[in-house]
Amino acid sequence: LAQPCPAQPCLAQLALPGCVSFNLDTESPTLYSGPRGSYFGYSVDFYSPDHRTVNVLVGAPKANTSQPGIVEGGAVYYCKWPAGGTTCTEIPFDKSSNRKIKITQEPVEFKSNQWFGATVRSYNEKVVACAPLYHWRALKVTQEKDPVGTCYVAVQNFSTYAEYSPCRSDNADPEGQGVCQAGFSLDFTQVSGSKFSWILSVFTAGVVEILDGYDFRALIRKVKGERQTGVAPAEYDDSFLGESLLDFWPGFFSVLITRFTIALFILHRLDDVLVGAPLFMDRESDGKLKEVGQVYLFLQEEAFQFQDPQKLLGTDVFGRYGSAIASLADLNHDGYNDIAIGVPFAGDDGRGKVLIYNGQSTGLNPKPSQVLEEQWSSQAIPSGFGFTLRGASDIDRNDYPDLIVGAFGASKVVVYRARPVVTVHAQLQLNPSIINPENKSCILPESESLVSCFTVEVCATISGHAIPYIVVLNVDLHLDKLKKKGVVERILFLYYHQPQHSFQLVVGKSQHSRCKEFVVYLTDEKEFRDKLTPIGVNLNYSLDESRPLEGLAVKPILNYYTALLSLQAHILLDCGDDNLCIPMLKLSASPDRQQLIIGDEIPLTLIINAKNEGEGAYEAELYVTIPPESDYIGVIRNNEALSKLSCAYKVDNSTQMVVCDLGNPMVAGTNLSVGLRFSVQRLEKADASIRFDLQIKSLTSNLLCSSCRVSHPEQIVLPMTNWESKDKPKKEEDVGPLVQHVYELHNSGPSTISDAVMEVGWPSRYREEYLLYILQIQTDGPLYCWINATINPLQLEVGTTLLYPSTISHLITRREVRLPQPLKRDPTKILNCSNIECTKIYCRVGQLEKRQSAVLKVRSRLWIQTFLKRRNDHYSLHSLVSFAVKEMPYNIQQEELSSAHTAIRTAVIWATPDASLSIPLWVIILAVLVGLLVLAILILVMWKFGFFDRARPPQDDMTDREQLNPEKATEA
**Average pLDDT score over residue span 38-53:** 93
Mapping DSSP onto H, E and C, the string for 486-545 reads: CCCCCEEECCCCCCEEEEEEEEECCCCCEEEEEEEEECCHHHCCCCCCCEEEEEEEEECC
My answer on whether 86 and 196 are in the same domain is yes
CATH code of the domain in which 592 resides: 2.60.40.1510
> Residue 683's pLDDT is what?
78
3 state SS of 441: coil
- The pLDDT score that the predictor gives to residue 484 is 62
If asked whether residues 409 and 434 sit together in one domain, one would say: no
Question: Does residue 101 contact residue 108 with C-beta atoms inside 8 Å?
Answer: yes
Give 559-608 pLDDT, tens digit per residue: 876 567 888 888 888 777 666 777 888 899 999 888 888 877 788 899 99
pTM: 0.64
**Alpha carbon distance 271, 274 (integer Å):** 10
State pLDDT tens for residues 496-531.
999 999 999 999 987 788 999 999 999 987 788 888
For all residues of the chain together, what is the average pLDDT? 80
C-alpha distances (whole Å) from 655 to each of 252, 398, 651, 753 are 66, 72, 5, 27
**How many Å apart are CA 384 and CA 388, to the nearest integer?**
8
**In the structure, what pLDDT confidence band is assigned to residue 751 with cuts at 50, 70 and 90?**
confident
> If you average pLDDT over residues 440-455, what whole number do you get?
90
Mean local confidence (pLDDT), 97-124 = 89
What's the confidence (pLDDT) of residue 22? 85
What pLDDT shows up at residue 337? 94
Q: How confident is the model at residue 902 (pLDDT cuts 50, 70, 90)?
A: confident
Same domain, 740 and 830: yes
3-state per-residue secondary structure call for 625-649: ECCCCEEEEEECCCCCCCCCCCEEE
Buried b (16+ CB within 10 A) or exposed e, 800-828: eeebeeeebbbbbbbeebebbeeeeeeee
Q: Could you read off the pLDDT of 200-213 as tens digits, one per residue?
A: 345 565 555 555 55
Distance CA 141, CA 919 (A): 111
Distances (CA, A) of 5 to 8, 37, 42, 83, 86: 6, 12, 18, 15, 12
Q: Which DSSP letter does residue 938 get? A: H
Burial class (CB in 10 A: 0-12, 13-18, 19+), 423: middle
Q: Flag whether 12 is in a domain.
A: no
Size of the chain in residues: 972
436, 412: one domain: no
Q: Is the pLDDT reported for residue 14 higher than 50?
A: no
**Residue 818 DSSP class:** P
**Secondary structure of residue 864 in the 3-state scheme:** helix
CA angle 378, 383, 385 (to 5 degrees): 125
Number of domains in the chain: 6
Instruction: Examine the pLDDT at 712 and tell me if it is beyond 80.
Output: no
Torsions phi, psi for 930 (to 5 deg): -60, -40
pLDDT category at 701 given cuts 50, 70, 90 is low
**φ and ψ of 179, to 5 deg:** -90, 70
Say yes or no: 564 and 604 in one domain: no
Q: How far is CA 223 from CA 123, 131, 137, 166, 552, in A?
A: 20, 19, 21, 8, 45
HEC per residue, 206-237: EHHHHHCCCCCCCCCCCCCCCEECCCCCHHHC
> What pLDDT is attached to residue 848?
86
Is residue 561, in this structure, part of any structural domain at all? Answer: yes
Task: Give the residue with greater pLDDT, 229 vs 367.
Answer: 367
755-766 and 837-845 strand pairing: antiparallel
Exposure class string for 889-925: b at 16+ Cβ within 10 A, else e? eeeeeeeebbbbbbbbbbbbbeeeeeeeeeeeeeeee
| Structure confidence at residue 734 as a pLDDT band (50, 70, 90) | confident
Under 8 Å between Cβ of 99 and 20: no
- What's the rounded Cα separation, in Å, for the pair 98 and 330? 46
Average of per-residue pLDDT across 699-713 = 50
* Same-domain status, 775 and 899: yes
Which of these three, 182, 214, 229, is where a domain ends?
229
Judge if 903 and 938 occupy the same domain.
Answer: no
Q: How far apart, in Å, are the Cα atoms of 874 and each of 151, 867, 877?
A: 81, 9, 10
CB 300 within 8 A of CB 268: yes
- With respect to residue 140, please indicate whether it lies within any of the assigned structural domains: yes
Determine the Cα–Cα distance for residues 716 and 698; give it in Å rounded to an integer.
33
Q: What angle do CA 666, 667, 670 make, to 5 degrees?
A: 85
Q: Which among 469, 428, 432 has a CA at the least distance from the CA of 562?
A: 428
Q: Which of 910, 933, 955 is the last residue of a domain?
A: 910
Segment 359-377 mean pLDDT: 89
pLDDT confidence tier of residue 652, bands split at 50, 70 and 90: confident
What's the CA gap between 332 and 325, in Å, rounded? 18
pLDDT at 825 over 70: no
Q: Which residues pair with 341 in a beta bridge?
A: 325, 355
Contacts of 817 (CB under 8 A, 6+ apart): 702, 704, 705, 706, 707, 811
**504 plus 395 within the same structural domain:** no
CATH at residue 466: 2.60.40.1460
Q: Are 28 and 18 in contact (CB under 8 A)?
A: no
For residue 101, name the pLDDT band (cuts at 50, 70, 90).
confident
pLDDT average, residue stretch 921-933? 89
Q: How confident is the model at residue 804 (pLDDT cuts 50, 70, 90)?
A: very low
Whether 397 is in a domain gets the answer yes
> Averaged over 608-628, what is the pLDDT?
89
Q: State the Cα–Cα distance between residues 641 and 672, nearest whole angstrom.
A: 10
Q: Does position 294 have pLDDT exceeding 90, yes or no?
A: yes
- Give the β-pairing of 450-451 and 604-612: unpaired
CATH number at residue 325: 2.130.10.130
- pLDDT at residue 852 above 70? yes
| Averaged pLDDT, 87-105 | 87
Q: Based on the fold, state whether residues 555 and 611 are members of the same structural domain.
A: no
Q: What percent of the chain is predicted at pLDDT more than 90?
A: 37
The number of beta carbons lying within 10 Å of the beta carbon of residue 629 is 18
Q: Is residue 595 part of a domain?
A: yes
Please answer whether residues 394 and 333 qualify as being in contact, where contact means their C-beta atoms are separated by less than 8 angstroms.
no
If 0-12 CB within 10 Å is exposed, 13-18 middle and 19+ buried, where does residue 305 land?
exposed
Using pLDDT thresholds of 50, 70 and 90, give the confidence band for residue 301. confident
Same domain flag for 721 and 768: yes
Backbone φ and ψ of 569, nearest 5°: -110, 155
In a domain, 2, yes or no: no
Q: How far is the C-alpha of 461 from the C-alpha of 475, rounded, in Å?
A: 13
What is the C-alpha separation between 48 and 56, in angstroms, rounded? 9
Which of 64-68, 87-91, 283-287, 790-794 is predicted least confidently? 283-287
Quick one: how far is CA 682 from the chain centroid?
Answer: 66
- Rounded Cα distance, 876 and 824, in Å: 13
User: Do 376 and 332 reside in the same domain of the chain?
Assistant: yes
Domain that holds residue 342: 261-419
Residues 284 and 337 in one domain: yes
For residue 869, the domain's CATH number is 2.60.40.1530
Q: SS3 for 702?
A: helix
What is the rounded average pLDDT of the residues 803-809?
Answer: 37
pLDDT digits (tens, 9 = 90+) for 321-346: 999 999 999 999 999 999 999 999 99
Higher pLDDT, 753 or 968: 753
Measure the CA–CA gap between 697 and 666, rounded to whole angstroms: 11
Q: What is the pLDDT of residues 147-188, one digit of tens each?
A: 989 999 999 889 899 998 888 877 766 555 667 888 888 888
pLDDT surpassing 80 at residue 351: yes
Q: Select from 205, 229, 253 the last residue of a domain.
A: 229
SS (H, E, C) 733-753: HHCCCEEEEEEEEECCCCCCE
Kindly state whether residue 948 falls inside one of the protein's structural domains: yes
Let me know if residue 278 belongs to a domain.
yes
pLDDT tens digits, 226-251: 666 655 554 555 443 433 333 333 33
